[in-house]
Amino acid sequence: MTRCCAGPFNKVVFTCRYFFFIVLLVAGIGSAALATQMGPLTSLETMLNPDHPLMTPKKIMISEFVVGEGSPSSLEVSLTWGVKGMDRSSVGRWESANPGVLEWDDEFTVAPRRN
């Protein structure tokens, strides 16, 4: 790296330093002028074409499943900590109204492991 920057490259940069400064100054002013014309989005940004095959699951989730809160596009994920399992001994195989009784893990803790 030192050899590259210390040889003819350094001489060219030093000789043309005013030219490079003016070019970069004009580019900076042009960029600033274009940046002042930016505004908020007027429409939603689409990552994929609506006809793309990867959009099919999203269409199914929005149109066929009720998520709640009046917005079909909001999905909620819930995590439950400290559950050991589910006791389904008193529940029939096809009984969907009664899933069973949760078995809580009494030894569960969020404290870090001690070695």
Chain centroid to Cα 18, Å, comes to: 43
Residue 29 placed within a domain: yes
Question: What average pLDDT does this structure show over 13-37?
Answer: 95
Total number of domains constituting the chain: 1
Q: How far apart are CA 108 and CA 83, in angstroms?
A: 8
Residue 90 placed within a domain: no
Residue 87 placed within a domain: no
**Over the Cα atoms of the chain, what is R_g?**
31
Q: What is the pLDDT of residue 70?
A: 60
Q: What is the pLDDT of residue 50?
A: 81
**What is the domain extent for residue 18?**
2-35
- Give the DSSP H/E element, type plus range, for residue 101: strand 101-104
Give the model confidence (pLDDT) of 43-81 as tens digits. 887 788 888 887 887 787 777 776 666 655 555 557 788
Q: How far apart are CA 97 and CA 95, in angstroms?
A: 6
Residue 89 placed within a domain: no
